[in-house]
Structure 1
Amino acid sequence: MKELAGDGILVQVSCRVLKLSRQPYYRWLRSPVTGRELMQAYRANALYDAHIEDPEFGYRFLADEAKSFGEPMCDRTAWRLCRDQQWWSAFGKKKARGKGRKPGPPVHDDLVQREFVAAAPNELWLSDITEHWTGEGKLYLCAVKDVWSNRIVGYSIDAQMTSALAVTALNNAVLRRGDVARCVLHTDRGSQFRSRKLQRALTGHRMAGSMGRVGAAGDNAAMESFFSLLQKNVLNRKTWATRDELRSAIVTWIERTYHRRRRQARLGRLTPLEYETIMNKQVALAA
């Protein structure tokens, strides 16, 4: 009791010297964090979660994501919170090329080590993202390739390069292939492949993730070879007026030309679909 009385006297003397009212001090003592501060903290947390998922999103998109998390706010509030915490879109702040950029940390070890071989389907998949300009803006393609047959088992095309682009491509591949448990998905360290959404998808499909090194193109060379073919045969053939026009051309080339007509030396001069058909028959006869 004496200590409490002493503290009270100390507070009275301090407030008198500083010319402060004691009532606001006691109100703060009963509730150090105000309701407004707590609300702002919840909003900031929702914006941060959305920013980590998709670093390309600006504050307006982050506000939309935060609303879906149960923390609605106006765009101005989202901008102020993002400004205070320096949560800028990956596309928003220009930096000198090669300077000030730090690669994201890998969320998986490199399980491939440039050994792009597979003895059976759904053992090793590769994935990457490419982009191309149209008259309406950029169009992004995320493709998933089975190393066993070089077939593009899943892909996603969108006007935005977000984690959903990679997740949709992976889910499409799983729908086409069926049982993919213990399959390895090898990618680079792009934010879309490091996102928590993709990690949850891998876990849900019981797959393993693998990531190459920074700045080492050879770590995903087998996927780059497919994009090189796509660049020469589709993307650079003409100027594309609309995204829909380019989307249709990409899908047509993958499904009709690459899968069914383009013979590959590594597959014994067979197309990916021919190779899969022959190999699957052999496996069925052997069984």
Structure 2
Amino acid sequence: MRTAAWDFVSAHAVGFGIKRICRVLEVSRSGYYRWIAGAEARAGRQAAEDVLVEEIREIHAEHRGNYGALRVHAELRGFGHTVNRKRVARLMRKHGIVGRHLRKKKRTTIPDRLAPPVADLVQRDFTASTLDEKWCGDITYVQVGAAWLYLARVIDIRSRRVLGYSMAPHMRAELVIDALQAAVAASGGDVTGVIFHADRGSPRTRPPRSPRSATGTASAGAWAGSARAMTVNALAESFWQGLKRKTMHGKLFLTMPQARLEIFQWLTYYNARRRHSALGYLSPMEFEQQHHQTARLQLAA
């Protein structure tokens, strides 16, 4: 209210005089003069705020409107800015900059009731103390014209990095085997003792058409873990939500090459650039780099 009064005094000071207007408005002249003296500082703060808002808009646009205040703040800090998180949230509200929210998703995993029981090695503990301790895999699908493209991927539970993935117009066991073999190769081929967790949907439990592929994966030493409940694979579900409900929001793929290219681009972005709240707002690759650097320093010490 006072700011509006001072603006009114400034606008009509020539015609009516400062003393008279202040008396009518019941405000002090000293307060008005202090407000005038601080005009330069306010202009400087406003200019700095305008620059910050423009940077927030650029970050928001670069990440396709997906980032909310927390990730925008982390990105600004990553660029060397010292800025308060609440200030970022306030400016985003003020200027209508909103991150994309996830809607409640429908269940897509259908259990294979004919599959033999498998030991649950994860025991619903989706945490890991080091890399290549636990992996998590799952399948989803996206519509491409009148057909479907199925996606399988394997992530490291510690770093959240996508280690391997595969895409195919079918949901046979080879889809998962290809993703798992890609993950094994990305980890150097020796994954003895790694626990691989997947829910018990039928593509994971039916015998693959290519026994050679299955044997190759098993010989790498990855153990299979399976949950009792089909909905506890929270990491996998969260990942697919990010892919389908954020990046591909409102998008319809017309051709398989288009779908494969854009999904590949998003997976690359996810590993290298997308900040993850569980990793202290680092990207998976940044987190792994810090992990390896810390391990080298500990060995040197």
Q: Which category describes the TM-score, using the shorter chain as reference length? A: 0.5 to 0.7
2:295 to 261, 283, 287: 283
Paired letter, 1:233: K
- Shift in Å, 1:203: 2.3
2:167 to 157, 172, 176: 157
- Aligned residues, how many? 184
8 Å contact from structure 2 (residues 119, 225) kept in 1 = yes
Quick check: 1:208 aligned with 2:220? no
- Shift in Å, 1:209: 0.8
CA–CA distance in structure 2, aligned partners of residues 190 and 235 of structure 1 = 24
- Shift in Å, 1:222: 1.0
CA–CA distance in structure 1, aligned partners of residues 166 and 112 of structure 2 = 27
Q: Report the secondary structure of 1:145's partner residue.
A: strand
Q: How does 1:196-235 map to 2 (within 5 A)?
A: 196-197=207-208, 200-214=215-229, 216-218=230-232, 220-235=233-248
8 Å contact from structure 2 (residues 112, 205) kept in 1 = no
Length-normalised TM-score, structure 2: 0.58
Identity of aligned residues (%): 33
8 Å contact from structure 1 (residues 107, 194) kept in 2 = no
CA–CA distance in structure 2, aligned partners of residues 230 and 284 of structure 1 = 34
Cα deviations across residues 231-266 of structure 1 (Å, max 9, x unaligned)?
12333331110111111111101102x112211121
Quick check: 1:130 aligned with 2:140? yes
2:283 to 265, 271, 285: 271
CA–CA distance in structure 2, aligned partners of residues 185 and 123 of structure 1 = 9
Length-normalised TM-score, structure 1: 0.61
Q: How does 1:111-122 map to 2 (within 5 A)?
A: 111-122=121-132
8 Å contact from structure 1 (residues 137, 243) kept in 2 = no
CA–CA distance in structure 2, aligned partners of residues 117 and 203 of structure 1 = 23
Quick check: 1:166 aligned with 2:180? no
Q: Which runs of 5+ in 2 are unaligned?
A: 1-110
Q: Report the secondary structure of 1:175's partner residue.
A: helix
Tell me the residue number matched to 2:262: 249
- After superposition, the Cα gap between the structure-2 partners of 1:150 and 1:139, relative to the gap in structure 1 and judged at 3 Å, is same
Paired letter, 1:283: A
Q: Report the secondary structure of 1:186's partner residue.
A: strand
CA–CA distance in structure 2, aligned partners of residues 240 and 252 of structure 1 = 14
Tell me the residue number matched to 1:183: 194
8 Å contact from structure 1 (residues 136, 243) kept in 2 = no
8 Å contact from structure 1 (residues 125, 146) kept in 2 = yes
Q: Report the secondary structure of 1:217's partner residue.
A: coil
CA–CA distance in structure 2, aligned partners of residues 130 and 203 of structure 1 = 23
8 Å contact from structure 1 (residues 163, 195) kept in 2 = yes
CA–CA distance in structure 2, aligned partners of residues 240 and 212 of structure 1 = 33
- After superposition, the Cα gap between the structure-2 partners of 1:152 and 1:102, relative to the gap in structure 1 and judged at 3 Å, is closer
- Shift in Å, 1:201: 4.3
Q: Report the secondary structure of 1:127's partner residue.
A: strand
- After superposition, the Cα gap between the structure-2 partners of 1:102 and 1:146, relative to the gap in structure 1 and judged at 3 Å, is closer
Q: Report the secondary structure of 2:165's partner residue.
A: strand
Quick check: 1:259 aligned with 2:259? no
8 Å contact from structure 2 (residues 162, 267) kept in 1 = yes
CA–CA distance in structure 1, aligned partners of residues 200 and 112 of structure 2 = 11
Paired letter, 1:144: V
8 Å contact from structure 1 (residues 167, 201) kept in 2 = no
Q: Report the secondary structure of 1:226's partner residue.
A: helix
Q: How does 1:95-106 map to 2 (within 5 A)?
A: 103-106=113-116
- After superposition, the Cα gap between the structure-2 partners of 1:201 and 1:185, relative to the gap in structure 1 and judged at 3 Å, is farther
Q: Report the secondary structure of 1:141's partner residue.
A: strand
